[in-house]
Structure formats: C-alpha cells, structure tokens
Structure 1
Amino acid sequence: MKKLAVCLLLPLSTFCFAEEPRTNVVNFNTTASREVANDVAYATLFVELSDHDPARLAEQVNRALAAGVKQARESGAMQSVRTAYSTFPVYNKSQQQEGWRSRGELRLSSKDFPVLSRLIGNLQKPQSGTPLQLAEIRYGVSDLARKKAEDALIEEGVQAFRSRASLLQKSMGGKGWKLLNLNISSNAANPMPYAANYSLMKSAPAAPAPVEGGESRVNVTVRGTIQIAE
C-alpha cells in the first residue's frame, strides 16, 4: 500500500512523515421521526382602513389594535401579544394619490386553544369599535415538547446509525468499523395554516375560530462517516 508523505515546514527545520490513505470509507445517514401534537397556536388578526387624513387613519387603526391588545391580555392565556403596522398611498386610475391605506395586525400565540378560539370570535365582533378580521391560524410544537421529542429521536437515530454501520461492515467483509465523524440535525414539518374565508366572513356573524392543533412530524437525521477495517 502506498503511503503519502506529509511535510511540516518550520522556521529552522522540516519534518516529514508518512500518512496512511483512508480506504473503505463510507458516508451515510439514518433518520428517526415521530408525530408530535402541536401545543401552540399562532393567530393573526388585522384591521385595514382608508382615509385622506393619515393622522386620523393612524388613530383609527391604533385604537382598534389597542382594544384588541387589551382583550388579549385580559384573557390571561396568551403567551405573546404583538402588533404590526404599515401604511401605503392609494392612487386613482390617473396615478394621482387620493388617500392612504393602513393595515394593523394583532399577532397572538397561546397554548390554551379554547380561550384563543373564544378570543378570536370576540375580536371579530363590532362591539364598541372597529372589529378585527382573522387572517390565519398556524400551529406548532413548543420548544419544551420539541426538545423532549428530539432527545428520544436522537437515541433512535444513533442506534439506527450503529446498526447500519454494522450491516455495512458485514456486507463488505470487514473486521470492524470506527467512526470518523458524526452530525445530527433536526427539523419539524408543520401542517398548513388555517386561512379565513373573507367572502364568507362578510355575510356570516363572527364565531369562535376552529382551533384544532393537529400534529407535526419531528425528524432527526444522523449523518456520519465510518471506516471499515479489513
């Protein structure tokens, strides 16, 4: 077997040594996965208004958002309550500006699905101000639940990797194998979000949104390189 000569150049001397080339090196990966119940819901509601006066428009949108934030915080079950605001000019067919349009968003997250569902219904009711409209609801796995699932899947993935390595060793007639490197990664595939049907919302009274979390598939992939001994 040929050896490779590797030299190190130092200020006062040069050292050379022979390095055995790596043979019977195999790269492969294994994947472990499971379905995990989504335990967090993310809802986005919005208000969108137009006016010739940008200051009055901002006041109307901010008032609607403030009322929504107040209700959300009073529910006592929200993990996060955030808002977003954007304004853009409105032009007529002659490309002349004729006003402004603003959109304010209320973004909520909660692990209490029934409370969130009722809150969404209440925020869409025209009680004492401008009602909000539902844009979408998304679902996900909390950090704690994801970590618990990933810890179990790492054990499964590594065991599957070792079993595959032993199978490769046997198939190649090797005496044994050693691990050269290992990489572990994970990801979760979430379901499609629930999107509101605005054409139906305009004609139907506001009602609690259907908050059904479903499940997400959590995957752990173990990638590595082994060398099989002859």
Structure 2
Amino acid sequence: IIELTGQMIGSMIRLRKLLLDHNRLQYLPWEIGSHSDLEELSFHGNELDTPCPEVLAGGADSLLRYIRKVNQGMLTHNLDLSSSRLSLFPYELRSATMVTTLDLSNNRLIEVDDALSAMICLISLNLEMNSLISLPSSIGECRRLIYLNLSKNKIRSLPENLSTMVCLEIMRLETNRMIKLPNFIKSMMQLKELYLQENEFTDIGAEVKMSSNFILNPTPSQLMELLQDTGPTGIELQAKILDS
C-alpha cells in the first residue's frame, strides 16, 4: 500500500485494530483519530514523512494521541498542537482550510510552511516559544487574522506582506531579536496592541506613528524619545510600561 485515504478509513466505523506494518506509506490520514474504539495501531517499516520524527519516535500511542488532536481540531475548527515536540510544520495543516484558531506554541519549529496560506479562515495564530527566525511572505494570505503571537522566538525581521492583514489587532513580538520595526507597520491602522518587550531596539520612535494603543517595554530614554517624536499634537498613543 502506498496511500491510505481519509474516506477509506472514515467508513470503518467499528475499527479496533489497524496494522499497517511494512508498506510504503508516507502519510497517515488524520481521520484515523475519529475512531474512539481504536485500541491498536502499528506502522513499522513505512516511510512516513509526517508527523515529525519526535512524534513518531514515541511509537503508536504517541502517534495516535497526535492524530486524535488533529482530528478534534479539524472538527471543532480550533486546533491545539501546543507542546507536541514538533520540529516540522504539520503537513496535516494543508487541508485545515476551515480552522479558525491554531496553537503551535511551545514546540521546536524553526520555520513556518507556506501551507499556512491555505488557512484562509484563521483568526488566531499562536507561535510562541519556538525557534523561528523569520516568517514566510505567505502569512499575508491569512487576512482574517486578528491575533498573532510570535513571542519568545528568534525573529529579526517581518515580511512586508504582513501589512495586508487588515484585521490584525494584536501582535506579540516580545522576546525576539528585532532591531528595528519595518516602515510598513505604521500603515497598519487597525493594530491596537503591539508587544515589543525584550528585543534589541535602539530606535522605536519614527516607525511607531499610528492610531493605536501600544503596549511596549522601552527604556526610560526610549520612552521619552517616543513621546517627543509624536509631539503634543501627534496621533493618539498610549505607552504602557509592563514589568517583565
């Protein structure tokens, strides 16, 4: 067997045991997770590309837990894969076009797949506590996104396509390696909360002129520079210093 489809698996409503050893499968359909009575799953001797090696290394129980998480998320449109030891962006998300909330926090991701562009219904995306250095330009296709959490990564820059996310209200960038905010960020008029604590900024004044409420954690001198830069007749700005 080289392919096992979700439709094929989904029709086996009384499935208790699924032995797939020594085939040529590269992918297991997430519909396997819909079988609550499934007691035994075996997949030795295949060439699975997904889930990531860390999940597969945990054996059948680990894989079954993961697939059930994915199945539940697909059904409810709220997919929580936080703390799943993922080092690769989940292949399953290529078909997650109806998911509205995605939590991939506390994993080991070093990059985000372009498959994210297929998640056109996404409203909330949490990528906190990974090892991301950058984001793909395709993230700009998530135009319904309201909440984006990129905190506690290694991000140095943001893709310009981020400016096309016209619904984005909250963006968390604290604890990264940002040196300067991109110029396009001042055109994101809908942004209400911007978290920038614990980065490597040397200048946060000129780029932060927009009609929004900012949540920052600048040094006292940076705060003075920011307030002076907006001027007494400048655009409304609330800078709230948060304790780390």
Scaled by the length of structure 1, the TM-score of the pair is: 0.19
Higher strand share: 1
Ranked by relative contact order (alpha carbons within 8 Å, sequence separation 6 or more), the top structure is: 1
Larger Rg over CA atoms: 1
